[in-house]
Amino acid sequence: MAEDCIFCKIARKEVPADILFEDDDLVAFNDIQPQAPTHVLVVPKKHIPTVNDLTEEHAALVGALALRAQALAAERGVDGAGYRLVMNCNAEGGQTVFHIHLHLLGGRQLRRMG
């Protein structure tokens, strides 16, 4: 847990968010500045700053993030048409919140990445 981290605060319910799913390990909520009709963030409750900080001990947790995103995509009905899962890392990757999170983007044709 990190005191000043916005996603830790959301996980602790100190900051409101539009929470779609929660269990002991993760929370999923709508992005505050959606880039697509479906833009959900799937976030571990444990504070892990970047993808660079992941180790073997986090393997099940990362798997749980991906499977939750898959389930949310199906709930939103974007699974058939398609969607994108993204984790940004550090400045050149476009990371702005330094608590790892998986973006689920869908509901429109997404452009090529780059």
How many residues bind ligand AMP, per CB under 6 A? 12
Interface with Zn ion by CB under 5 A: which range of 5-13, 18-26, 29-37, 103-111? 5-13
The alpha carbon torsion through 92, 97, 100, 101 (nearest 10 deg) reads: -100
Active site residue 101: yes
φ/ψ (deg, to 5) at 34 = -65, 135
Does 45 participate in binding Zn ion (rule CB under 5 A)? Answer: no
Does 94 participate in binding ligand AMP (rule CB under 6 A)? Answer: yes
Query: Least distance from C-beta 36 to ligand AMP, angstroms?
Result: 11
Buried b (16+ CB within 10 A) or exposed e, 43-82: bbbebbeeeeeeeeebeebbebbeebbeebbeebebeeee
26, two tokens: 């993760």
Picked from ligand AMP, Zn ion, none, the partner binding residue 32 (CB below 5 to 8 A depending on kind) is ligand AMP
Q: Which helix (H) or strand (E) holds 42?
A: strand 38-44
Query: Least distance from C-beta 96 to ligand AMP, angstroms?
Result: 4
Catalytic residue list? 101
Binding site for ligand AMP (CB under 6 A): 6, 17, 29, 31-33, 41, 88, 94-97
